[in-house]
Amino acid sequence: MNQLSFQLKGSVVTAIVLELYRYSRADFSAELSAKVRQAPMFFHQTPVVISLEKLEADAPAIDFPELIALCRDFGLRPMAFKGAPTALADVLEATGLVLIPAGQGGRAPVPESAVPEPEVVVRTVVEEKLVHRPSKIITRPIRSGQQVYAEGSDLIVMAAVSEGAEILADGHIHVYGPLRGRALAGVRGDVQARIFCQSLEAELVSVAGNFKLSDSLRELSWKAPSQVYLQDDTLHVDAL
């Protein structure tokens, strides 16, 4: 019988990064409301990392508890601040959210001193992420509410991805049917990952954390064979 109370394991949680440049309650509320209306199911209960790395140096003082409350009002769930200036550390810690150093992903490192017995488990998980695995092939339709993740590999879907479904891969994503849900490639930061589909009708597409919503996609390559990729830190959507 296992005597441990818990183990720490690697996992993937879909989170969005909110890059804050400046803040006023009225402008922020209006802009966030417009975004949420575009894909309400995507933003509902979605974890958010608030990045302060591009905050304007001369930006007025920000009421961070108010900012967090506004995000929650729109269904988002702030979980951390990223790249916070040292001068704001005490103010941000008082909000109860995690502080992530600049340049790291959406997961804060686990201090070794805080992981006595399960430490080996954590290291084993990290080593496994470096092993490339065979592509994950799905032959059935992916229905609303389902999530499929290809860990350490590409994902190939031979059928349709329904609205409200979510597919994720550390590598490329190929969909040989209509892509109507959400597709996130390169979820662990692979900027070379791409998304290929026979008919682009997605709620959201993302590569290495950079995403576009359906309103933008309708103007680019809607209901056409398409590929999605990153180039010069910009997400591109091209017809095939």
Q: Read off the pLDDT band of 161 (50, 70, 90).
A: very high
User: Does the structure show a pLDDT above 90 at 179?
Assistant: yes
What average pLDDT does range 194-222 have in this prediction? 90
User: Does the structure show a pLDDT above 70 at 11?
Assistant: no
Single-letter code of the amino acid located at 88: L
Q: What is the pTM of this model?
A: 0.58
For the ranges 54-63, 166-175, 219-228, the lowest mean pLDDT is seen at 54-63
- Residue from 232, 227, 186, 192 nearest 209 by CA: 186
The pLDDT value recorded for residue 85 is 86
What fold is seen in the domain 136-239?
A: Pectate Lyase C-like (2.160.20)
User: Does the structure show a pLDDT above 60 at 104?
Assistant: no
Q: Percent of the chain beyond pLDDT 70?
A: 82
What are the sequence ranges of the domains in the chain? 1-130, 136-239
Neighbour-count burial of 77, counting CB atoms closer than 10 A to its CB (0-12 exposed, 13-18 middle, 19+ buried): middle
d(CA 86, CA 91): 10
CATH code assigned to 1-130:
3.30.70.260
Average pLDDT over the chain, rounded to whole? 83
The pLDDT value recorded for residue 134 is 87
3-state secondary structure of 226: strand
- The tokens of 102 are what? 């600049």
- Residue from 144, 240, 140, 161 nearest 205 by CA: 161
Higher-confidence residue of 224 and 121: namely 224
With the C-alpha atoms ordered 78, 80, 82, 88, is the resulting torsion angle positive or negative? positive
The pLDDT value recorded for residue 87 is 86
The pLDDT value recorded for residue 195 is 97
